[in-house]
Amino acid sequence: MNVLIVSQPTSGGVAQCVRQLTEAAVATGHDVTVACPSASEGPLADWVTAAGATHVPVKLTREPELGDLRTLIVLRKLIRNRDLVHLHSSKAGALGRMAVASTLRRRPKVVFTPHAWSWLVGGRMAALYRGIERILAPLADRIVAVSVAEAEVGRPVLGPAASRTVVIENGIDRTRYHPDGPRAERDLTAPLLVCVGRLSEQKGQDIAIRALSQLDIPGVRLRLVGSGPERSALEDLAAELGVAERVEWVAHQDEPVLEYRAADVVVAPSRWDGMSLVLLEAMASGCAIVASDVLGVEALNGAGIVVGKDDVVAFRNALNTMLADPDLRAGYGEQARQRSADYDLGHTLARNLALWSDLCS
């Protein structure tokens, strides 16, 4: 098949999913073009080129802007003569579906994977985003939810088009992410919390910093692994709360398995998600995990502690409990590793490729 993949994110979990799907599709023999921002915006462009796909740079930003009209015109040209278009993230999903709907030529099949519903961002835009998704939902032949919970939350918003939703849960390569092997360097005299993800409001690193400042156990260190727009604000918060000297900053890692292995506890304080790859990576790495109650966290199924999102006190209490009991951490880590077997990357990729084939047959 001649396939166009469109992605707004060029780093983080969504970009990793696009990278893996592109590699699998090219290996299967499909002719794949990936439209996403240029290499200066993140590693995805180089990843897909290395996989043997064609990269076409397009301007895609998280927020709506006037330049979206130009991007819409570019996407209309790119979809010509394609068998299938697979759109990743809400921004790519909106512009891509509008581009397909506006063409007078033979329309390709359309798959949309939001990775997290746009309206979960909240605030004044939530109602508008719900309305947009309900209007655009019929323009996709299939909408892929990456967790069962994401599908359930989406159905009442999408209306009749919710029947187009299928669940293909995110997966993890357990041959790369596992407990055994080298670990990142750390201070062995102090407990270490590790939080991996883009430094952003969504990933909730501020919650981890606030919880750190309230822990009963002295000397605990927090390692934030990632890059993003909230770095300066998070540094200011750590200084304000008097824990700046106990917060470690590590640049984005494409495969942060060494950081997971170094952790006493992995903290996943996201405010919204579809199914976090960080959660699956930490599970496969055999980590003790404290996570917020967002979509996809059901993957833990008891193999960790889940607390309310934005609940600093609950995070503090859970971390105190984890850090005080090495046997508890070890038990949770073993359970998490076992649970991760249900989220195999090969199965995820095979189901996506089978969906493409079924739509185009």
What values do phi and psi take at 282, rounded to 5? -65, -40
CB 138 within 8 Å of CB 161: yes
Classify residue 229 by burial, with Cβ atoms within 10 Å: 0-12, 13-18, 19+: exposed
Token readout for 136 is 């655009």
Query: Which residue type sits at 313?
Result: V
The predicted pLDDT at position 165 comes to 97
Strands (E), 60-115: 84-88, 109-113
Query: Which residue type sits at 64?
Result: P
pLDDT bucket at 15, cuts 50 / 70 / 90: very high
Residue 339 has pLDDT above 90, yes or no: yes
pLDDT > 90 fraction of the chain, expressed in percent and rounded: 93
3-state SS string for 8-57: CCCCHHHHHHHHHHHHHHHHHCCEEEEEECCHHHCCHHHHHHHCCCEEEE
If one compares 333 and 102, the residue with the highest pLDDT of the two is 333
Query: How much is the average pLDDT of 219-223?
Result: 97
pLDDT bucket at 124, cuts 50 / 70 / 90: confident
CB 294 within 8 Å of CB 272: yes
pLDDT bucket at 153, cuts 50 / 70 / 90: very high
pLDDT > 70 fraction of the chain, expressed in percent and rounded: 100
Report d(CA 307, CA 291) in Å as an integer: 6
In tens, the pLDDT along 179-194 reads 999 999 999 999 999 9
Element holding 6 (H helix, E strand): strand 2-7
Residue 251 has pLDDT above 90, yes or no: yes
